[in-house]
Structure 1
Amino acid sequence: MSLRDYAKKRRFDRTPEPRPEKSAGKAARELFVVQLHHARRRHYDFRLQVGDVLKSWACPKGPSYDPEVKRLAVEVEDHPVSYAAFQGDIPDGYGAGHVDTFDTGVWATSGDAEAQLEKGHLRFQLFGERLKGSWHLVRGHRQEKKPVWFLIKDEDAYTSKLEADDLLDARMVDSTRRAAGKSGGAKEVAEKLTRTKRKTTPAAKKRRPPSMAWVAKIEGAKKRAAPSGFFKPELATLRETPPTGDNWLNEVKWDGYRILTSINRGEVTFWSRNALPWTDKLPEIKQAVEDLGLESAQLDGELIAIVDGQSDFNALQQTLSGESATPLLYVLFDMPYLEGYDLSRVPLIDRKAALERLLRQAPEQLAYSGHVVGGGEEAFQSASAHRLEGIMCKRADSPYRGGRGDDWVKVKRLEADEFAVVGYTDAKGSRKGFGSLLLARPAPGGEWSYVGRVGSGFSDDMLRELTRSLARAGSRTPSIKHAGEAPRDAHWIAPTAVAEVFYRGIGNQGLLRQPSLKAMRPDKTPNDLRRGDRARKPAEAGKSRGGKSSAPAPITITHPERIVYPGEGITKQDIVDYYTAVMKWFLPGVIDRPMSVIRWPGGINKPSFFQKHIPAGGLKQVGSARLKEETGASAVYLYPVDADSIIELVQYNAIEFHPWGAHVDKPDCADRVVFDLDPGPDVEWTRVKAAARLMYKLLEQLGLQSFLRATGGKGLHVVVPLKPAAPWDEVKEFARSFAEVLESMYPLEFVSVSSKAKRAGRIYVDYLRNGRGATAVASYSLRGRPGAPVAMPLRWSELGRLKSASQFDMRSALARLKRQRADPWEGIDKIKQSLKAVKKALSAK
């Protein structure tokens, strides 16, 4: 998604609207905003944050709460996220008029928002002050200059006859009246507002039970004044196997955040398990709990994100950080207090019965955590078969006691584990703070045993914070007894923090294989790991309960018969087979590099869209890392870790692969410079080849070896490897200067600016692919164009015989690789050359 159209339509030296490059980036949660725009024709602007932009629609009459009313919504250009906070007057020009904020909040959708929009039907929920409940955006079938959609309210508790104009406050009403003289539409609305009694918020149908008298009849309930604030949660002890007997209730162990709810005089507050306030982070959950209509209560549960019917911790974190809009669910499993009665001494099975009764007509954001009585082993096997995190086993007759005890037991299925942080290694290259964290697990005798280090999965903010808290000092002497195969540059510290880490089995020295940070756990301490709050020993990871190694589940290719390239009859399965066949050559150029892919869910004759983030729950074999972009904002990028990553992306309808010129472990420095020679429509192919030869010679004169790639499109790539890698700003400045020098030396051949007006008859030297976050198509990647062309790396000696940039297609590429003994770019990552050496050589001259 691009903000290019947004920028083209505005003069930022005249308008107060935010510039694209000054976007606020990701919000804490994916937000929506509706703005009342008094332009030439008064209308509402409806905007949903999808990724790092606001998808936008102009809605003349605004949203309606009546499901029978289909409100016209005309799709307009994407806006920067920072536009959500914009209010004020736009001067004469594009969109002139006054802008007010009508409503803002967070929104959620089940599944991939981009995929739903591409298909033409987005189902979503709004959690604002004025706009609440479930809605639909449905694309119309008529061909118009701009895509036409319809905004429709879904049938739910908020359905009514209310219109957007009915919900305006006094300030926005005054704005409408002031604008009435400029537009007949505004005048009509102003007259209507004079007659209409306005409301400040839609009224939900109350779900409170008709009577709460049944609470007093719960055996063991004691009348007590309503408590307020945080209450100490009951904690579980980890066991290897579930307990047996019918005195145990077995529940699903949800993979999320423990959330405690306190309701006092109708005021809802949320707390984490270690007493941190969470109320402001969860507006939709707060709204749902308020809809229960309770005056006082204490509720205990887990905040989760549901993806494909399972709780997904990654999706939860992405939603809370604003990377996705997966619906959140508050799963409740206990209730120590309700409406004036202390239930903490009531047996658990009776507390749960009361909780289930309370939640029978609860909003969809609240759920009851069911259980089975007895059969712990069968329950655990079932949870493992469904790839759940594990089970919770609780004594059926137990009271609610804060703290850790034997009444609650957890048994976890292994895929990730928690470890104490016992040190760090030095940062290398341009990375700041530290290189990796050293990890340990509890060992017999109260000691700690080293299990490896983790250096990926950290955000920039996390690096800074951990550097301040962990890496202030450090000793070269190990702080743990069993240091094992620790690195020589280790700085050792006392165990103070807990990291939750993904890993792929255990190596011969007992070290984690391919560890990646899942999350830091500020809610836990190393002592918690000693007390049994950790998972099974890592040595047991990767084994089933029968002791056999468990292999990853195969990637299922859905709709393999779907035609992707209609002109060639190439199917989705053909694309899978292609990437499988070229994987040996393709993978070295993309592995561990942040990446954007282009997806064609309906084939190349249908709309495509850009994907750089992992959709909630959509990918299981692909790595993810939070990285800073050139704008200063950060985003969670996907990156391939192995061949399975590529095939899974193809299953997700990816055709083109566009990696960064940097690796995920060193995202601040580029190890490749890419020049894209993009010819104007009237430039002969022989001139493009001559331009590439000229660049080769000039770069050689600078002491830089370069490589050639046919893009599969119109032009050629000239690629310069760097070792050591260089900071992005240095690489971009070098590329820009080189392109400008080319233009000054050969003004009739080259142009270094992207303006189409200046590119007629010349070759555009696109150096902008060298900015942080910019990408270039990968070698051996298919292109989503008729003919199924392939981006093919070449030897410079092959340039003379090259007939076009799209000479190689899927079939001829495979035929070429069968004959190919060595990759034309073999050794590219071993070449030692740097921009500093170039500068030094030039200064010497």
Structure 2
Amino acid sequence: MASSSSKDAVVLDVDGHEVRVSNPEKPYFAERGIRKIDVVEYFVAVGGGILNALRDRPTTLERWPGGFFEGARLSTRVDNTGDAFYQKRVPKNAPEWVPTAHITFPSGRTADEIAPDSVAVVAWCANLGTLTFHPWPVDKDDVESPNQMRIDLDPQPGTDFADAVRVAPHVRELLGELGMQGWPKTSGGRGVHVYVPIRPRWTFPEVRRAVIAFGRELERRLPAQVTMSWWKEERGEKIFIDYNQMARDRTIASAYSIRPRPNAPVSAPVDWDELPDVRPEDFDVRTMPARFRAVGDKHAGLAEHAFGIEPLLELAERQAKDEGLGDLPYPPDYPKMPGEPMRVQPSRARRSTSGSS
């Protein structure tokens, strides 16, 4: 990675492309002394790994153009006055070498999203203030068929990373029984993500249904530790299997993404056997490049496999037949889906029922 610089910018040569980094000395994680140029150089240092995670996938950018600081917050649909924002459409000033993928959102609206094919594209996005990359579980050549099943172990209040780690071996065991393999990573926060490569022949609703079946079986085996309840008031102090991460347009922070927290943590691929001994804070912008040089990309094997989800769809059929278990609610911003139950919070439904009696 060659570079040239002036007072106001640094130009990096990345994969044969010139990537201009404006305001390179701008603080991005002031408490750690991490500057904008450090963020860009971090992504270049782990370039082979993050490109494995993003290559040819439509990717939403989580942009923090002012860096992360105490009190910083993300804009939302309701309040767009935050310090950071999600960018789904490719910026108008993108170089011609930045590829895109045409995708359709649940609302029916469409967009051309960045679909990285080089580390230079990742570095260019980092110059825009991108800390976290959110890739779709599809390839840009077939955006209707997921080729990854993503299992999100999401600690609820009263639980933490250690609780998610205790559930993880059971995820591995169940996948093995189904003839599948998973690749775990830290979320960069309190959770654990497990990626399962699958054949791209199923629709989003089918893959989501497979994750629901998987989560329900895990909940049956670990009722004191795991919950599949969409409603927070019913989850308790358990690990929620966030099945709606497989709904269309829902994404998970990629491996090697930086998370907007004071210590600049990153989402780290790990081996199953080392998972019990790591902590989320072990992996950050400062420490991950050395780990990457030493051990390489722990998710490199993902690309060598593609499993069928037929056993999970068959499990879903049995759950429906034997236990009467159908679909579960989609996120509130989604159109009503066929077979979906009512999106009514249980306590509100009880109040409505008692009020009409």
TM-score by length of 2: 0.76
Task: Supply the AA of the counterpart residue of 1:777.
Answer: A
Residue type at the aligned position of 1:695 = V
Number of the residue aligned with 1:589: 53
What amino acid is the match of 2:307? Q
- Tell me which of 129, 140, 144 is aligned to 1:653: 129
Matched letter for residue 119 of structure 2: A
Question: Is the 2:213–2:315 Cα contact (8 Å) retained in structure 1?
Answer: no
Matched letter for residue 140 of structure 2: V
Task: Give 1:760's match in structure 2, choosing from 230, 236, 243.
Answer: 236
Q: Secondary structure at the match of 2:253?
A: coil
- Alignment partner for residue 68 of structure 2, among 596, 604, 627? 604
Distance across 2 between alignment mates of 1:666 and 1:693: 32
Native 8 Å contact 1:621 1:644 kept in 2? no
Q: Which residue of 2 aligns with 1:670?
A: 146
Query: CA RMSD, aligned part only?
Result: 2.3
Deviation at 1:664, TM superposition (A): 0.5
Deviation at 1:552, TM superposition (A): 7.0
Is the Cα contact below 8 Å between 1:721 and 1:833 reproduced in 2? yes
Tell me, what secondary structure is at the counterpart of 2:113? Answer: strand
Give the number of the structure whose residues are more often strand, by fraction. Answer: 1
Q: Alpha carbons of 1:731 and 1:623: their partners in 2 closer, same or farther (altered >3 Å)? A: same
Q: How many residues align?
A: 292
SS of the aligned residue for 1:723 comes to coil
Q: Distance in 2 between matches of 1:628 and 1:616?
A: 19
Q: CA deviation at 1:751?
A: 1.8
Separation in structure 1 between the aligned mates of residue 205 and residue 317 of structure 2, nearest angstrom: 20
1:795 Cα shift?
0.8
Q: Distance in 1 between matches of 2:160 and 2:249?
A: 32
Give the Å deviation of 1:723. Answer: 2.7
Distance in 2 (alpha carbons) for counterparts of 1:664 and 1:646: 16
Taking the TM superposition and a 5 Å limit, the aligned residue runs for 1:697-712 are 697-712=173-188
In 2, the alpha carbon distance for the partners of 1:635 and 1:794 equals 33
Q: Deviations over 1:554-576 (max 9, x none)?
A: 22110000000011010000011
Q: Which structure has more helix as a fraction of its residues? A: 2
Q: Deviations over 1:410-438 (max 9, x none)?
A: xxxxxxxxxxxxxxxxxxxxxxxxxxxxx
User: C-alpha distance in 2, partners of 1:807/1:682?
Assistant: 22
Question: Kindly tell me: are residues 555 and 732 of structure 1, through their superposed partners in 2, closer, same or farther at Cα, counting changes over 3 Å?
Answer: same
List gaps (5 residues or longer) in structure 2.
1-14, 73-82, 319-357
Verify the 8 A CA contact 1:594 1:639 in the aligned structure 2: yes
Q: Which residue of 1 aligns with 2:11?
A: none
Which of 559, 568, 580 does residue 23 from structure 2 map onto? 559
Secondary structure of 2:170's partner?
A: helix
Pair 1:824-2:295 in alignment: no
The structure-2 alpha-carbon separation of the partners of 1:624 and 1:721, relative to structure 1 and needing over 3 Å to count, comes to: same
Q: Show the counterpart of 2:99.
A: 623
1:788 aligns with 2:264: yes
Contact 2:63 2:131 in 1 (8 A): yes
Note the C-alpha offset of 1:680.
Answer: 1.7
* CA distance in structure 2 between the aligned counterparts of 1:622 and 1:599, rounded to whole angstroms: 17
Q: What aligned pairs does 1:40-189 form with structure 2 within 5 A after superposition? A: none
Q: Which aligned pairs between 1:443-842 and structure 2 lie closer than 5 A?
A: 554-605=18-69, 606=72, 607-802=83-278, 804-820=279-295, 822-836=296-310, 838-839=312-313
Instruction: Kindly provide the amino acid, as one letter, of the partner of residue 637 in structure 1.
Output: E
Preserved contact between residue 555 and residue 648 of structure 1 (Cα < 8 Å): yes
Task: Kindly provide the amino acid, as one letter, of the partner of residue 795 in structure 1.
Answer: D
Q: CA deviation at 1:771?
A: 1.7
Q: Which has the higher contact order (CA 8 A, sep 6+)?
A: 2
Q: Is the 8 A contact 1:699 1:705 kept in 2?
A: yes
| CA distance in structure 2 between the partners assigned to 1:684 and 1:624 by the alignment | 37
Structure label with greater radius of gyration: 1
In structure 1, give the amino acid aligned to 2:174: L
Q: Which residue of 1 aligns with 2:80?
A: none
Tell me if the contact between 1:714 and 1:806 (Cα under 8 Å) persists in the aligned partners. no
Cα displacement (A) at 1:744: 3.8
Return closer, same or farther for 1:791/1:685 CA change in 2, 3 Å cut-off: closer
Report the alpha carbon displacement of residue 684 of structure 1 after superposing the two structures with TM: 4.7
Matches of 1:704 and 1:552 in 2, distance apart? 38
Corresponding residue SS for 1:741: helix
**Partner letter of residue 149 of structure 2?**
V
Residue 619 of structure 1: CA displacement? 4.8
TM superposition shift of 1:724: 4.4
